[in-house]
């Protein structure tokens, strides 16, 4: 008795990065005699594939075939349709299975807007914006202060994706790294850029008045403190004004 397979199944990833290779497996249900398998990608038959036939415990045969290291190098393609069809030669019956493969493209390396290398006063909030171009699917972006993820707002304008975050700066953030990451797929390594914070402590104003005959001295001392994260020192610049009566 001849039985065509009722179905075929394609297993493997549903997305692959442009320029990488694709691996899939196609397997039939029970067939008698064994079914033959054929692959096609974007409508083109793939010639060099091998099939393995195994005896099923309930009788009949199961056929499987691997599509191995198929190159996904076609430019400007965002989706590819893969087909596996099984043919039982005794009954001339074909069963097909289709799988849509998303072709991901990494975004460009993100770029910070503005000058993040300028000195920032501790206790203020820094408005951080970075942009990236391209990517498929449209990329996600995150801004980090060291390992701490910030609340990031995303906006897309055509082929441009912009991320914005408000970063609260503390004295201990001197030397901390701000990082902007962009990725079009959780399966790929994000592209990123970084900048190092230089943090100044708030300006302190101290007014001292002392009277000692026969003179009265008024001293105004303004000090700006710069925290040195690398060596653990605090440097200061001092300006004194003297009024003598």
Whole-model pTM: value is 0.64
C-alpha distances in Å from residue 60, one per residue of 5, 28, 57: 10, 11, 8
Query: Same topology for domains 8-104 and 111-200, yes or no?
Result: yes
pLDDT confidence of residue 60: 86
* Per-domain residue ranges of the chain: 8-104, 111-200, 204-244
- Cβ-count burial 186-204 (b if 16+ within 10 Å, e if not): eeeebbbeebebbbbbeee
pLDDT confidence of residue 74: 64
Q: Which CATH class is domain 111-200?
A: mainly beta
pLDDT confidence of residue 204: 53
pLDDT confidence of residue 130: 96
What is the CATH superfamily name and number for domain 8-104? Immunoglobulins (2.60.40.10)
Q: Mean pLDDT of residues grouped by 10 in the chain (245 residues)? A: 86 90 93 91 88 85 92 78 91 90 93 89 93 93 93 93 94 94 88 93 57 43 40 36 34
pLDDT confidence of residue 88: 87
pLDDT tens-digit series, residues 121-151? 999 999 999 999 999 899 999 999 999 999 9
pLDDT confidence of residue 3: 81
């Amino acid at each position: 008795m001849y039985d065509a397979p009722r179905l075929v199944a394609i297993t493997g990833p549903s997305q692959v990065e442009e320029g990488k290779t694709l691996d899939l497996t196609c397997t039939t249900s029970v067939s008698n005699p064994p079914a033959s398998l054929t692959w096609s990608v974007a409508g083109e038959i793939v010639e060099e594939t091998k099939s393995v036939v195994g005896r099923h415990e309930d009788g009949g045969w199961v056929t499987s075939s691997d599509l191995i290291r198929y190159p996904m190098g076609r430019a400007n393609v965002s989706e590819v349709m893969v087909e596996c069809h099984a043919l039982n030669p005794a009954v001339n019956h074909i069963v097909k299975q289709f799988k849509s493969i998303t072709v991901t493209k990494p975004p460009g390396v993100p770029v910070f807007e503005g000058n993040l290398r300028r000195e920032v006063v501790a206790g203020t909030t820094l408005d951080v914006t970075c942009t990236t171009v391209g990517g498929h699917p449209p990329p996600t972006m995150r801004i980090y202060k060291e390992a701490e993820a910030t609340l990031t707002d995303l906006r897309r304008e055509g082929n441009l994706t912009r991320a914005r975050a408000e970063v609260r700066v503390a004295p201990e953030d001197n030397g901390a790294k701000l990082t902007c990451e962009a990725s079009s797929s959780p399966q790929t390594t994000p592209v990123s850029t970084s900048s190092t914070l230089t943090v100044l402590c708030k300006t302190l104003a101290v007014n001292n008045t002392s009277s000692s005959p026969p003179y009265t001295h008024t001293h105004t001392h303004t000090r700006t403190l710069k925290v040195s994260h690398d060596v653990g020192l605090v440097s200061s610049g001092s300006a004194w004004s003297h009024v003598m009566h």
